[in-house]
Structure 1
Amino acid sequence: MDVEKAAETSPDNFRRRNVYSTPDGDNNSNEPPTPSVEKLFSGKVVPPWQSQLTLRAFVVSLILSVLFTFIVMKLNLTTGVIPSLNVSAGLLGFFFVKTWTKFLEKFGVLKQPFTRQENTVIQTCVVASSGIAFSGGFGSYILAMSSKIAHRGDKGFQHDIKDPRLGWMIGFLFVVSFLGLFSVVPLRKIMIIDFKLIYPSGTATAHLINSFHTPKGAKLAKKQVKTLGKFFTFSFLWGFFQWFFTGGQTCGFTNFPTFGLKAFASRFYFDFSATYVGVGMICPYLINISLLFGAILSWGIMWPLIETKKGQWYEVQLTQTMHGLQGYQIFIAIAIILGDGLYNFVKVFGRTIFGLYKQFQRKDSGAILPSDGQPNSEDSASQSFDDQRRTHYFLKDQIPNWVAVVGYVTIATVSIITLPHIFHSLKWYHVLVMYIIAPMLAFCNAYGCGLTDWSLASTYGKLAIFVIGAWAGASHGGIIAGLAACGVLMNIVATASDLSQDFKTGYMTLASPRSMFVSQIIGTAMGCIISPCVFWLFYKAFPDLGENTSQYMAPYGAIYRSMATLGVEGFGSLPKNCLTLCVIFFAGAMAVNGIRDFLGNKWARFIPIPMAMAIPFYIGGYFTIDMCVGSLILFLWQCTNKANADAFGPAVASGLICGDGIWTLPSSILALAGIRPPLCLQVVPRLKS
């Protein structure tokens, strides 16, 4: 969860694929020494890359992609906090295919055994597909273009809109989601073999898959899947039960004033969400405490104080608009996001430049980097058995560089022609400039991610909002141009780092780079169709989607719209004294990050993370209560039985998230069919006698 640490470097990107990470997400230490993994698998034949791409693998990937897309979409449209789901993807992929192969083996008709390479293909495909639900911007930049979000903002820009439609969303994703893959392909050997980048998330994923395919790991995986299934069932049935009591606005357990009506008015309550209890169990403790601290600071202290200035700082009738209290909530949150994002951009980019300098300095001093596709003899002699075997298979199936170049140029050409027809204010020269600089940004993001495990994709996207929006101009559709540019750049940069992580996973599981690349392409293609369809289901089933009173308020839609407005209009769009507060919080976010880095990991774990603090500034603190409950459950479990908690905690959390997430499918169908819940559970103040 841009912090995922359980997340990435921006709060709207609380989605990261790491399994093990440090509390601050800065995991750039060397892997601990372990016994030889490849000696355990030395007796097993590594199938050719074509055999790693099986029909059953893609059937399972399709099923899991739909499941995880619903989960990610629901999280996108509620709070934007998205945990890592790669453990669930790997675990469920292993379970489904293993069950199928055992069934065939029982009847003596099994033609191809299930391998860790095939497991890697499944996980890569599922994560690539469900990742489009996030990078596709359905809860952020695409929704920010809609009239629903525009009507909540500045009335001067309500004409600058583009409402979601299934056709253009699918077309847009197909022309922008593949460029990042082709841009990083020529760099795969440099990143993995020559520079030996760590990619902690990819490494952890590989360890997970390797462990599944040992006898001990397979036994544990079976127990973990059983646990996941139990809590999946409980979570699904709990969502079904709650549905019966939501027959009106502000009805149901999700609106129960747990701490009293006054606290409820300030959005402090436990909303009985199994999803966010599960998310809290996955996220590090510091993330959840930071969220709670941010909720208390904003809704407990700041907003009540600013409300006392009603009539002085803003007009009473503008309270729930961008020129009233809502403006302070959104723009101060944006200031924290930008401050934290800028600090981490400079930090990670600086490490990238320094890392490259050291690599090439080492090259100049005589440690020649191999460039002919084969390691030199000196390297081979110093490599461990695992490294030698992995390097051999990684270099065995090369992807010709001309494929990457031709693919990038072809898709870029189609995109330059197509995008101005989808977004009329985004001109061909805007797109051309982005595609010229995109490979460099993709390389920087992939390299920085390999060093630190931090992806700056959303930071590059926000940068595009301001640059292209200002370039296009307010009178020429600058808001839509900026938001569209955000989508273009964010997709390219995000997929580049994701594929690099996958190459690292494939390197450590002996999965061919070709099978990784093909799996990523197929998964991305699946996501370009599945994600818009799932979003369209939500969009049609819940007419109040995007409204402040909706269960799907999509907070980042308003935040991204406000960023675009700020980019084309300047600071004149801010309410009175809002700019001063924004500057204070912008500087504060950078200062807190600086203090965290200065003190080091030992003490940084006691200092809140600004990115996480920013999220409840606009949304409220209700979901942070759920997540803290999840943390408390895990903490107590670890106190009583740490081994069990570490082994089965992720399975319990995944079950809670998956069950409640998949309930949104039948609930959406019921809403489309016009079937309303029969009851309304509501708490009201007592009558005065």
Structure 2
Amino acid sequence: MAENGIGDRVENGFDAEDEQNPNKKNRRAKVEALSVERVFENQEVPSWRRQLTMRAFVVSFVLSILFCFIVMKLNLTTGIIPSLNVSAGLLGFFFVRTWTKFLEKSGMLKQPFTRQENTVIQTCVVASSGIAFSGGFGSYLFALSERISKQSSDTRDIKNPALGWIIGFLFVVSFLGLFSVVPLRKIMIIDFKLTYPSGTATAYLINSFHTPEGAKLAKRQVSALGKLFSFSFLWGFFQWFYTAGDNCGFVNFPSLGLKAHNYKFYFDFSATYVGVGMICPYIINISVLLGGILSWGLMWPLIENRKGDWYSADLEPSSLHGLQGYKVFIAIAMILGDGLYNFFKVLSRTLSGLYYQLQHKQRSNVLPVADRTSPENPELSFDDQRRIQLFLKDQIPTWFAVGGYVAIAAISMAALPHIFHQLKWYYILVIYLLAPALAFCNAYGCGLTDWSLASTYGKLAIFTIGAWAGAAHGGVLAGLAACGVMMNIVSTASDLMQDFKTGYLTLASPRSMFVSQVIGTGMGCIIAPCVFWLFYKAFDDLGMTGTEYPAPYAVVYRNMAILAVEGFSSLPKNCLLLCYVFFGSAILINFIRDLLGKRGRFIPLPMAMAIPFYIGSYFAIDMCLGSLILFVWEKINKAKADAFGPAVASGLICGDGIWTLPASILALAGVKPPICMKFLSRATNAKVDKFLSS
């Protein structure tokens, strides 16, 4: 956003008269100094083919593996995934700069490292690791499994994970979204001037890395990231030694007392979520904690006292007809309420924004692109002229995008019914007919608000296709599979447009951006399933409630699909009433947030509040600790906290995340930790001592 602000100020409002006015002339000279592209004016912009280097894709591949492990771990623990774009750009810069420095000293460097190549790396890594999220390994795809179905009220429609069909499924659904919005890139980026805050912020960082001052700061940031990475990795390794049995180790340390521990209130010593807390806004962390207090501190103990009245006292703890049903379905109600409110909010902003753009163009009586495609337009800043010139230089033909969409859609319609026989070809046809419009809405809304509503569109597909298919014809499985198809299309569409914005601001060619996104998506379609398969084989309790990797959203998504095909018949007593209350509360809270304007930032977020309803508050305490560290750091030295906070947080997340690779390998090899560290109450400990002494 800072970049856009600079671009808006540079050279705007100056004319020939300014040259006669010394004050205005001086002002213009000062503003010229703010121009980003003036700094890089003497650097040659490589052709789009030269931006796609072998070293860029080698580094992208290595970082994709790292980031897929991180995203997969976050997916399978709580489902909260912060933006890792900054980490991808920073690590990409560090690795290639180190590579080129070595070659330069040895006299073998043929092509210098440019910000365009840095953008290609960032795009490829984010596209690849994005598949670990949109692939549904912690949500709709894992919800198909028998392991998750046993925790719900319906065990009929199942499809257990297998590496072959998962990779095939991702390859036929993940590329379609890329072709759906390619023809709109010029309208979105140049004509409508959409902000895309994440894409803009990433471009700002990449541009800064490639200045002398930025390179020095980046080196120090990487040093901080490396130190915290090492600490986090070694801390994960140290904790492993104490996890020889169930409920063992630091993860189960009753830091707030045994009673609080029973209700999921404890600090679990997770470096990952301390880091996540440092990246996430304060209000998200507070919202998660408030949700945990409301649910595990108040509601669940009160509902538990109704055992035998509201639900049978003889039920298994995991039964959805008991307390577990309240946890799951009330969380679903809040998620749906929040999702639908934001869907209609973003849709209304999209429609009003489009109406304004079209009306503005009609009033000006000028074609949207005509005068703005010329870099000679005096009304444009030097930055904008240069960016527009290069953004329009390497066109991606519309026939290529349309042809690619039709071809992939045809292949997908033929292949998907063989993977999921419950998902009929005409269901897929309807999705693909609607998908371009929905992909546009998501990409446009993301440009305005930085919110991708991919999961909301996926939930709409669950309810529409699931209800259409019906319970007798595999509606649960059809709905979940349809969710995957829709979610991949709209998610990759908004991601690509974010990358086009980044490329526009770093002078990276749209062609190199598109090719990088395609290659990154291809990498993700192989790397992400392999990483998930490693988790699935290494941890026998993956997806089970109360374990290290509970995959909470998998249970939530499956029960959404059951709700779509069976209605509310499976809910326990008064659960539907509570669902209505929390569904309405989510909408009301969002409405109040928007009504209060800037003051609304202090109102908690319903979506964040809903997450601990099912899995507990332990990670909220970790995240709030991360917030506290950042808050104190900002009070002591705000400039240093702003510069190094994201790097420190990324180091904590990356180190703990990559530890899961050796931990998984050790589990597959049958290597068990040597020690079980478990905590008992004084009374229980006395009984154990008495038993052992007898």
Same fold (TM over 0.5): yes
Cross-structure match for 2:582: 585
Deviation (angstroms), 1:571: 1.1
Cross-structure match for 1:410: 407
Cross-structure match for 1:622: 618
Other structure's SS at 1:317 match: coil
Flag the structure with larger Rg. Answer: 2
User: 1:304-453 to 2 correspondence within 5 Å?
Assistant: 304-318=301-315, 319-371=317-369, 375=372, 380-453=377-450
Structure 1 residues 31 and 339, CA gap change in structure 2 (3 angstroms): farther
Cross-structure match for 2:649: 653
C-alpha offsets along residues 69-118 of structure 1, whole Å, 9 cap, x if unaligned?
A: 00000010001011111111000000000001011111111100000000
Of the candidates 188, 192, 195, which is equivalent to residue 189 of structure 2?
A: 192
CA contact (8 A) 1:132 1:531 kept: yes
Cross-structure match for 1:13: none
Cross-structure match for 1:502: 499
Q: Which amino acid aligns with 1:174?
A: F
Cross-structure match for 1:160: 157
Structure 1 residues 31 and 642, CA gap change in structure 2 (3 angstroms): farther
Indicate yes or no: 2:59 matched with 1:60: yes
Cross-structure match for 2:300: 303
Other structure's SS at 1:66 match: helix
Deviation (angstroms), 1:28: 11
CA contact (8 A) 1:28 1:451 kept: no
Deviation (angstroms), 1:30: 9.8
Other structure's SS at 2:602 match: coil
Deviation (angstroms), 1:370: 4.1
Deviation (angstroms), 1:369: 3.2
CA contact (8 A) 2:139 2:554 kept: yes
Q: Which amino acid aligns with 1:188?
A: R
CA contact (8 A) 1:370 1:376 kept: no
Cross-structure match for 1:129: 128
CA contact (8 A) 1:30 1:198 kept: no
Deviation (angstroms), 1:564: 0.3
CA contact (8 A) 2:116 2:503 kept: yes
Question: C-alpha distance in 2, partners of 1:114/1:181?
Answer: 27
C-alpha offsets along residues 241-264 of structure 1, whole Å, 9 cap, x if unaligned?
A: 000000000000000100111000
C-alpha offsets along residues 161-212 of structure 1, whole Å, 9 cap, x if unaligned?
A: 0001000000000000000000000001111111111111111110010000
CA contact (8 A) 1:28 1:452 kept: no
The runs of at least 4 aligned residues of structure 1 exceeding 3 Å deviation read 27-34, 369-372, 376-379
Q: Which amino acid aligns with 1:416?
A: M
Deviation (angstroms), 1:378: 10
Deviation (angstroms), 1:454: 1.1
CA contact (8 A) 2:140 2:557 kept: yes
Indicate yes or no: 2:612 matched with 1:609: no
Question: C-alpha distance in 1, partners of 2:491/2:126?
Answer: 12
Question: C-alpha distance in 1, partners of 2:283/2:617?
Answer: 16
C-alpha offsets along residues 390-444 of structure 1, whole Å, 9 cap, x if unaligned?
A: 0000000000111101110110000000000100100000000000110010011
What is the aligned residue count?
661
Deviation (angstroms), 1:381: 1.9
Question: C-alpha distance in 1, partners of 2:499/2:570?
Answer: 43
Structure 1 residues 558 and 30, CA gap change in structure 2 (3 angstroms): farther
C-alpha offsets along residues 323-377 of structure 1, whole Å, 9 cap, x if unaligned?
A: 11011001000100010111101100000000110111112113423456x7366
Question: C-alpha distance in 2, partners of 1:430/1:212?
Answer: 47
Indicate yes or no: 2:635 matched with 1:636: no
Q: Which amino acid aligns with 2:449?
A: T
The runs of 5 or more residues in structure 1 that have no matched partner are 1-19, 22-26
Q: Which amino acid aligns with 1:673?
A: A
Question: C-alpha distance in 1, partners of 2:530/2:362?
Answer: 52
The runs of 5 or more residues in structure 2 that have no matched partner are 11-33, 687-694
Two-structure CA RMSD over aligned residues (Å): 1.6
Question: C-alpha distance in 2, partners of 1:236/1:376?
Answer: 50
C-alpha offsets along residues 609-637 of structure 1, whole Å, 9 cap, x if unaligned?
A: 11100000001000000000111111111
**Once the two structures are aligned, what percentage of the paired residues are identical?**
72
Of the candidates 592, 596, 599, which is equivalent to residue 596 of structure 2?
A: 599
Deviation (angstroms), 1:487: 0.3
Question: C-alpha distance in 2, partners of 1:93/1:247?
Answer: 37
Cross-structure match for 2:142: 143
Deviation (angstroms), 1:320: 2.8
Indicate yes or no: 2:101 matched with 1:105: no
Deviation (angstroms), 1:548: 1.1
C-alpha offsets along residues 252-279 of structure 1, whole Å, 9 cap, x if unaligned?
A: 0000100111000000000000000000
Question: C-alpha distance in 2, partners of 1:317/1:676?
Answer: 35
Question: C-alpha distance in 2, partners of 1:510/1:320?
Answer: 54
Cross-structure match for 2:468: 471
Question: C-alpha distance in 1, partners of 2:289/2:366?
Answer: 51
Other structure's SS at 1:137 match: coil
Deviation (angstroms), 1:321: 1.0
Cross-structure match for 2:87: 88
Cross-structure match for 2:260: 263
Question: C-alpha distance in 1, partners of 2:413/2:136?
Answer: 20
CA contact (8 A) 2:542 2:551 kept: yes
Structure 1 residues 66 and 439, CA gap change in structure 2 (3 angstroms): same
Structure 1 residues 416 and 250, CA gap change in structure 2 (3 angstroms): same
CA contact (8 A) 2:546 2:615 kept: no
Other structure's SS at 2:681 match: coil
CA contact (8 A) 2:374 2:385 kept: no
Q: Which amino acid aligns with 2:562?
A: T
Question: C-alpha distance in 2, partners of 1:321/1:221?
Answer: 51
C-alpha offsets along residues 589-625 of structure 1, whole Å, 9 cap, x if unaligned?
A: 1001000001012x11221111100000001000000
Relative to the length of structure 2, the TM-score reads 0.94
Worse overlay, 679-688 or 72-81? 679-688
Q: Which amino acid aligns with 1:480?
A: L
Relative to the length of structure 1, the TM-score reads 0.94
CA contact (8 A) 2:375 2:385 kept: no
Deviation (angstroms), 1:476: 0.6
